[in-house]
């Protein structure tokens, strides 16, 4: 009895998820023979739903037919869910792969940017004209060029001995010799 009720609940859940009524799907729904068997199983019991049979011998054990029915319903539900979400899973997988690829710029592009960087190592801030020229040469968007230079300066500029970090250190040392009131005035 419990198995029949569980199968019925599964069919209802499947119908609400897929919009397919019993008999319309893949054919893995309850057949007329299964319904007859379920009806005869219902007649064997006195209608109690407490999990014991009418003789009080403990929990009901599903019959082979009920187990088969539950397995078919489970397989149909699994199939319907796979079909319903298949396109979404493919889209998500493609998006993840696209994002992985998006992190790296082509080698020839970075070599152009690095060449500009090295020729302007003392002040690696391209003008708007420089950026427009790099956009044309590399085929990148302006935002990509800007981000590349931001990242490059963060990673490499301050560790570069030819950069202005030495002048910053000199300024700090000269300010350290002044009294604290002179620094804030």
Q: Where are the chain's structural domains?
A: 2-102, 107-174
pLDDT band for position 142 (cuts 50, 70, 90) = very high
Quick one: average pLDDT of 53-77?
Answer: 82
Comparing CA positions, the residue from 5, 19, 21 lying closest to residue 69 is: 5
Q: Is the Cα torsion angle 46, 50, 51, 55 positive or negative in sign?
A: negative
Tokens 């009806």 found at: 39
- Whether the Cβ atoms of residue 2 and residue 51 lie closer than 8 Å to each other: yes
Topology of the domain covering 107-174: Arc Repressor Mutant, subunit A (1.10.10)
Polymer length in residues for the chain? 185
pTM (whole model) above 0.75: no
The string of pLDDT tens digits covering residues 92-126 is: 888 877 766 666 788 888 999 999 999 998 899 99
Please, where are the H alpha helices in the chain? 2-18, 32-44, 64-102, 107-119, 128-138, 142-152, 165-176, 180-184
The string of pLDDT tens digits covering residues 45-58 is: 444 444 555 556 66
Contacts of 7 (CB under 8 A, 6+ apart): 30, 38, 66, 69, 70, 73
């Amino acid at each position: 009895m419990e198995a029949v009720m569980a199968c019925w609940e599964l069919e209802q859940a499947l119908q609400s998820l897929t919009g397919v009524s019993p008999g319309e799907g893949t054919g893995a729904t309850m057949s007329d023979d299964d319904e007859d068997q379920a009806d005869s199983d219902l007649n064997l019991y006195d209608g109690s739903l407490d999990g014991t049979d009418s003789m009080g011998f403990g929990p009901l054990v599903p019959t082979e037919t009920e187990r088969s029915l539950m397995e078919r319903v489970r397989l149909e539900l699994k199939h319907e869910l796979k079909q319903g979400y298949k396109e979404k899973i493919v889209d998500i997988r493609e998006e993840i792969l696209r994002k992985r690829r998006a992190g790296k710029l082509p080698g020839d592009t970075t070599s152009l940017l690095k060449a500009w960087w090295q020729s302007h190592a003392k002040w690696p801030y391209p003008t708007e004209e420089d950026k427009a020229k790099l956009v044309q040469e590399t085929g990148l968007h302006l935002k990509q060029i800007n981000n590349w230079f931001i990242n490059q300066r963060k990673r490499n500029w301050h560790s570069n001995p030819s950069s202005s970090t030495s002048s910053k250190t000199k300024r700090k040392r000269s300010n350290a010799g002044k009294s604290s009131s002179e620094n804030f005035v």
